[in-house]
Structure 1
Amino acid sequence: MKPVETKTAVAHLVEERVPLFLWGPPGIGKSSIVRQIAEERGIGFVDLRLSLLDPTDLRGIPFFDQQAKQAVWAPPAFLPDGSVAEGILFLDELNTAAPMVQASAYQLILDRKIGEYELPGGWAIVAAGNREGDRGVVYRMPAPLANRFVHLEMESDPQQWRRWALVRGVDPSIVGFIAARPDALFMFDAKSAHRSFATPRSWEYVDRILKSTPERELLMPLIAGSIGEELAAEFLSWRAAADELPDVEAVLEGRERAVPEDPNALHVLASMLLQRIDADTPTETLEHLLAYLMELPPEFSVMIVKELQHKGVLLEKAPGFKAWIGKFAYLLA
C-alpha cells in the first residue's frame, strides 16, 4: 500500500482498537505515519523499540508484598498508565526482538495485559517491522502471534512523497531531483553491502544537510554518507546544472519571463513555484503565475497546474486561467 492509503487504513484500525502489524523496508516512514495519526487526533503515543528490551523490561520486575505475603509484578513506567484516556502503543521492530521478548509482547497483544499490568481500554496496539528479506536481523514471527494482527505492507511512492515534501519545505533541488528521477527516492537493495542508500528518511537527512549550509568540500562526503556515493555524485551534478534559475519572486510579480532551457532547472523551478503558492495566494499573483506558465514547456506547465489544484489552489478565479486552458487543453484530456 502507498503511504496515504496506509495512513487511512491504520487510522481506521486504530479507531476500532484492532491490532495491526505494519510491514515495510527500512526508511520509508512506518513509524512516522503512526506518530502523525496520534498527533492529528490529539491522543497519546508510546513508542517502544522492542529490539532494545529484555523480557523482564516488558513484564516488569517481581517484588515481595509484605502486607499480602506474596510476590507481585511491578509494571514498567513506560507503559500507558491510564492518565491519558486514548492513545497508540507502538511496538516497533517487533520481529527483530529476541524470541522471549516477542513472547512477552504476545501476551500483551493477546490479552491486553501482562503480569500485573493491563492496557487501558482506550489504547490501540500497532506493531511494525522490516520484512525477512530486508537484510535486517529478524526472527520469524510465531503463527499464533501473527494471527493476532491485521497485516499491512507499506511501500514508498514518489508522487505522494513529493507532495509531502512540498508542504514540509524540503529543499527544492531535492524535490526537483525526485521529480526527474522517481526511482531515486528508494534504492534499497537487500543484496548490496553498501551502508548508505536512498530512502525517504535518508533524503530528509540530505535536506537537513543542505539547510545547515556546510562548506562546499563537505557536501559530497556528507550527502554520500546519507544516500551513497554514486547517487550523491549524480544529485550534486544535477543540482549544479540546475543552479541558474530566474528569481521566483520576480516571476510572481510579473517582472520576469525568462524560462530555463535545462530540464533539470525546470524541475527545480517547478518545485520552487509549488512551494511558494498556496490556497491563500492573491489572485493578482496567480495571474502573474499563469502568464509565466504560458511560456513554459507544456509538460511542466500542466504538471504545475495539476499539483496546485491538488493543493486546493483555485486557479479558476484568475482571469488568465481561460487562456491557459485554451493553450493546453489538449494535454488535459
Structure 2
Amino acid sequence: MKLSQAKNIVMASIDSQIQHANGRDAERVIPYLIGGAGLGKTSVVQQIAEEREHGCYILSLAQFDAAELAGIIALVDGEAKRIMPHWLAKITEMASKMEAVYLFGDELPQAPVSNQNVWAQVVNERRIGEFKLPDNVAIVAAGNRTSDRAGTNTMPTHLRDRLMFLECEADLETTIAYFMAHGVHEDVTGFLRSRPEFLHKFDRDANASPSPRSWDRVATILGWGLDAVCEAEAISGQVGRAACADFMGYRKLKATMPDLDKIISNPDSAEIPSDAMVLYALAAGLSHKMNKSNAGNIIKYLKRLDAQEFAAFTVKDAVNRDQTLKQSEAVRQWILSDGKQLIL
C-alpha cells in the first residue's frame, strides 16, 4: 500500500489504542510498517506527531540488549527488584506533559529475538514487568523486509500474531508533502515530480540507490557549496550513478527556464516554456516562492499553462510548504474554480 494509506491506518490505530488503553487486547491493534530501506516509514509516524502536536519517542530495538530493554534486576533494600528501563521512564515523563505520545519501536526485525520477546509483552500487555505504559501512549513499530538483507532476524510467531502488518511502498505525494513541509531543496522535489520512477529503486546489492531518505540527504549535499565535479560524486554516492546522471541532466535543463521573479512581476506576458522537464522545474521553483502577497500573480501565470497539472503541482506543493496559503483569497478561488478537480 501507499505510505499515505498506511498513515491513515496508523492514525486510526493510535486513536483506538488510547481510547481502549485499559480495554481488551483485541481493541488495541498495533500497526507494524514493513517495507524497503529508506522508504520513509519513520518519517510517517513523526509527521503524524508533528501534525497533531503529540510526542514521538523512537526506540531503536536493535540497539539494546534484553536486560536494558526490560529493565535490570537490582538488589534494593535486600530485595531483588526490576528497575524501570530508561526508555520507559523517559516516555512516562513525556506522557505527563503531552496530550499523547507515540512509542515507536524501530528496527524491530533487526533486534535480537530476546528483544523481540520483550517487545511482545509491551505490545500485548502495555507493560514491562510491573511497570505499565501511561494510558495516553500509543504503540507503532516498523522494520525492513527480510529480502532486503538488512540484518533481520526471524520474528517469533507470538509477536507476529500481535501485530497488524502494513506492507508499504513509496508514495510520491506523501514524500513531496513531507519534503515541502521541511524545506527540502526545490531541485529535489521538481526532479522527483518529473521522474517519479527514481523515488525509490532500492537495490540490496548496490552501495547507493535512490530512496526518499537518500533524496532528503541529496538536498543537504546541495547546500554544501561543492564544485560541480565534487557535488556530482557526492550525489552519486548517495543515490547511485544512474539516478545522479538523470538528476544532473534535470538541473541543466532547469537553468534554461524563465526568471521566476520576472514571471511573478509580469504574469500576463512572461514566457511559457514548452519543454515538460523545464515546466516541472518551473512548478517546483514557483511553489517555493509562493506567499500570500504574490500568490495572485503566480496563479494568474499558471492559468496560462496548457498543461494545468503543472498548476496543480505548484499550488499543492506550495500549500504543503506553507499551510497559511490556504487563507489566501487567490489560492482559495483557484481551488474552487480551476483546481478542485486537479488536486482531488
State the TM-score bracket (shorter-chain normalisation).
0.7 to 0.9
Give per-residue Cα distances to partners, 1:32-69, cap 9 Å, x unaligned: 11122223333332211111111111111111122xx4
| TM-score, length of structure 1 as denominator length | 0.84
2:111 matched residue in structure 1: 97
Cα contact 1:50–1:92 (8 A) shared by 2: yes
Between the aligned partners of 2:75 and 2:173, the Cα distance in structure 1 is: 58
The change in CA–CA distance for 1:80 and 1:121 in structure 2 (over 3 A counts) is farther
Cα contact 2:47–2:178 (8 A) shared by 1: no
Give per-residue Cα distances to partners, 1:135-161, cap 9 Å, x unaligned: 211122222111112222222112332
Would you say 1:9 and 2:13 are equivalent positions?
no
Give per-residue Cα distances to partners, 1:272-292, cap 9 Å, x unaligned: 1122225x345xx52x43553
Between the aligned partners of 2:299 and 2:170, the Cα distance in structure 1 is: 32
Give per-residue Cα distances to partners, 1:41-100, cap 9 Å, x unaligned: 33332211111111111111111122xx42111122221453323311111011111111
Shift in Å at residue 302 of structure 1?
3.8
1:237 matched residue in structure 2: 249
Aligned to 2:141, the other structure's residue is in SS state strand
Equivalent AA in structure 2 for residue 292 of structure 1: Y
Task: Describe how 1:137-176 pairs up with structure 2 within 5 A.
Answer: 137-176=151-190
Shift in Å at residue 202 of structure 1?
0.5
Between the aligned partners of 1:77 and 1:306, the Cα distance in structure 2 is: 45
2:288 matched residue in structure 1: 275
Cα contact 2:284–2:314 (8 A) shared by 1: no
Which residue among 196, 199, 204 is the counterpart of 2:216?
A: 204
Aligned to 2:109, the other structure's residue is in SS state helix
2:66 matched residue in structure 1: 55
Shift in Å at residue 265 of structure 1?
2.0
Between the aligned partners of 2:219 and 2:329, the Cα distance in structure 1 is: 30
The change in CA–CA distance for 1:57 and 1:248 in structure 2 (over 3 A counts) is same
Would you say 1:37 and 2:55 are equivalent positions?
no
Which residue among 77, 84, 88 is the counterpart of 1:79?
A: 88
Cα contact 1:167–1:275 (8 A) shared by 2: no
Equivalent AA in structure 2 for residue 260 of structure 1: P
Between the aligned partners of 2:105 and 2:257, the Cα distance in structure 1 is: 46
Between the aligned partners of 2:331 and 2:73, the Cα distance in structure 1 is: 68
1:257 matched residue in structure 2: 270
The change in CA–CA distance for 1:216 and 1:89 in structure 2 (over 3 A counts) is same
Give per-residue Cα distances to partners, 1:263-317, cap 9 Å, x unaligned: 3222101111122225x345xx52x435533554x22x44314652684465487
Equivalent AA in structure 2 for residue 221 of structure 1: E
Would you say 1:70 and 2:84 are equivalent positions?
no
2:20 matched residue in structure 1: none
Equivalent AA in structure 1 for residue 52 of structure 2: R
Equivalent AA in structure 1 for residue 142 of structure 2: A
Cα contact 2:60–2:106 (8 A) shared by 1: yes
**CA RMSD of the aligned region, Å?**
2.8
The change in CA–CA distance for 1:249 and 1:146 in structure 2 (over 3 A counts) is same
Aligned to 1:48, the other structure's residue is in SS state strand
Aligned to 2:139, the other structure's residue is in SS state strand
Structure with the largest fraction of helix: 2
> Identity, % of aligned pairs?
30
The change in CA–CA distance for 1:103 and 1:11 in structure 2 (over 3 A counts) is same
- Where structure 1 has 5 or more consecutive residues not aligned to the other structure, the ranges are none
2:21 matched residue in structure 1: none
Off by >4 Å, runs of 4+ in structure 1: 312-319
Which residue among 247, 256, 261 is the counterpart of 2:259?
A: 247
Task: Describe how 1:183-198 pairs up with structure 2 within 5 A.
Answer: 183-190=197-204, 193-198=205-210
Between the aligned partners of 1:93 and 1:2, the Cα distance in structure 2 is: 20
Equivalenced residue count is 315
Equivalent AA in structure 2 for residue 216 of structure 1: A
Would you say 1:292 and 2:292 are equivalent positions?
no
Aligned to 1:245, the other structure's residue is in SS state coil
Between the aligned partners of 1:317 and 1:232, the Cα distance in structure 2 is: 37
